[in-house]
Amino acid sequence: MSVIQAPRGTFDVLPADAARRSALEAHAARILEAAGYGRIETPTFEATELFRRGVGEATDIVQKEMYTFDDGGGRSLTLRPEGTAPVCRAYVEHGMHKLPQPVKLWYLSSFFRAEAPQRGRYRQFWQIGAEVIGSATAESDAELILLLAELLESFGVREPRLLLSSLGTPETRAEYREELAAFLRTHRDSLAPEVVARIELNPLRAFDAKDPITQETMRSAPKLLDRLSPDDAEHFQHVRNLLDDAELRYELEPTLVRGLDYYARTVYEFTSEALGAAQSTVGGGGRYDGLIEQIGGRPTPASGWAAGVERILLASPEPPVAPRPVDLFVAIAAPGAERAGFHLVSEARRAGLSSQLELAGRSLKGQLKQADRLGARYVAIVGSDSEVGLKQMDTGEQTNHQYDAVIPTILRSSRLA
């Protein structure tokens, strides 16, 4: 029969990979929870309408990357392609506006996008995300940026660069959009066909184009940062002052667009050269003051980011993983001793010792070899008589003990060690 493989663009997390992922999760929990963020987990799938409204019809995600299916009852569901819209849906659904504001939430979840798989780009991937809902302040933007910087730094992400910009408010953006669309129309001959096709739908995406001629044309295009209203400009200046005070270096990137429609005012991305040019973004985010209203809540300012777990792992050094120490390996030396051996290993675990039992029917010699491979400190050899042989693996010394004395002996030696 043919062998079935994991679907294209997905991967297995094997035990050897799991340790670094757990370490990253622990870093995120420590940093975010110390700053008052509570963990949230939302369902893996949501009503498709949530992403249509919350991410935006014109985005790549909604247009071509969603895994959408009918649930059999005529309802259209979608595997979540991102976390912000679901978190906002939960905020509205649970009446979190009644809590003291802002509400700070973080998540570590998997997301699904039907993209062309490559290094650092998968169809199921994990993100760590943080959201501050119910605050319009520049401080909440700056706090979020600093926390992401701290997370990347604490995990050793190589050469992180912070790109920062402001998209203004929707009104400013609408006016600017018209101005940019007019510019693109007059320069349509020097733009890639897919950019021309999007002039009316989403002219801002022209800045994202990879085509060199388009990039050249866009150099002389009007920039949103030069069109900010006085209020937006002041908000942005405030964010910049706070980052300067924190001595966090950033580069102004006036063409930063971000793939999602809901951003307004502050936007940013962290990149790392370690990922290579094509997939260099480690994480990004921004302010999305209009989103909660968009999905049926009352107008609520909010801000947040998401960072790719796989990208963080790819962009940081891989420390040698220390194998988990095994205190006790229980070897079975005679037929009929399995029951006593099983009981001994259970008791040892209850006493807090990391313990393993022979489960493969090896000979005694094979069992000792296996204990050695595992780096076990002790091997208890359980045979047919009432005494258990206890072998200390580093010295090779073996002593006999009553069954009940085995665990106290190991515990005593652990305390002395």
Q: Is 125 in the site for ligand AMP (CB under 6 A)?
A: yes
Residues 36-75, one symbol each (x = binds ligand AMP by CB under 6 A, - = not), give ----------------------------------------
The verdict on 170 binding ligand AMP (CB under 6 A) reads no
CA distance 327 to 375: 8
Considering the complex, state which of residue 37 and residue 125 has its C-beta at the smaller distance from ligand AMP.
125
C-alpha distances (whole Å) from 181 to each of 177, 216, 257 are 6, 17, 15
* In the complex, minimum distance from the CB of residue 304 to ligand AMP, in angstroms, rounded to a whole number: 10
Site for ligand AMP in 292-321 (CB under 6 A): 306-308, 310-311
Q: Which pair of structure tokens corresponds to residue 287?
A: 């302010």
CB 297 within 8 A of CB 286: no
Q: Which is nearer to ligand AMP, 162 or 332 (CB)?
A: 162
Q: Pattern of binders to ligand AMP over 79-98, x per CB under 6 A?
A: ---x----------------
Check residue 122 for interaction with ligand AMP (CB under 6 A).
yes
- Closer CB to ligand AMP, residue 307 or residue 333? 307
Instruction: Write a three-state SS string for 121-169.
Output: ECCEEEEEEEEEECCCCHHHHHHHHHHHHHHHHHCCCCCEEEEEEECCC
User: Does position 280 bind ligand AMP by CB under 6 A?
Assistant: no
By CB under 6 A, tell whether 381 contacts ligand AMP: no
Residue 390: its H or E element: strand 387-392
Take residue 279 and report the two structure tokens written for it.
Answer: 């997939």
On whether the CB atoms of residues 31 and 333 are closer than 8 A, the answer is no
User: Which residue minimizes CB distance to ligand AMP?
Assistant: 308
> Closest separation between CB of residue 307 and ligand AMP, Å?
6
- To ligand AMP, the closest distance from the beta carbon of 335 in angstroms equals 52
Which one of residues 127, 202, 355, 367 is an interface residue with ligand AMP (CB under 6 A)? Answer: 127
Between CA 194 and CA 208 the distance in angstroms is 11
**Choice from 21, 97, 121, 227 touching ligand AMP (CB under 6 A):** 121
CA of 347: how far to CAs of 333, 354, 408, in Å?
A: 19, 11, 11
Residues binding ligand AMP: what is the number (CB under 6 A)?
Answer: 18
Q: Is 394 helix (H, G, I), strand (E, B) or coil?
A: coil
Smallest distance, ligand AMP to C-beta of residue 43, A: 18
Contact indicator for 25, 155 with CB cutoff of 8 Å = no
Question: Of 170, 254, 259, 296, which one interacts with ligand AMP (CB under 6 A)?
Answer: 259
CB of residue 111 to ligand AMP, shortest distance in Å:
7
Buried-state track 267-303, b at ≥16 Cβ within 10 A, e below 16: bbbbbbebbeeebbbbbbbbbbbbbbebbebeebbbb
Residues that bind ligand AMP (CB under 6 A): 82, 113, 115, 120-122, 125, 127, 259, 281-284, 306-308, 310-311
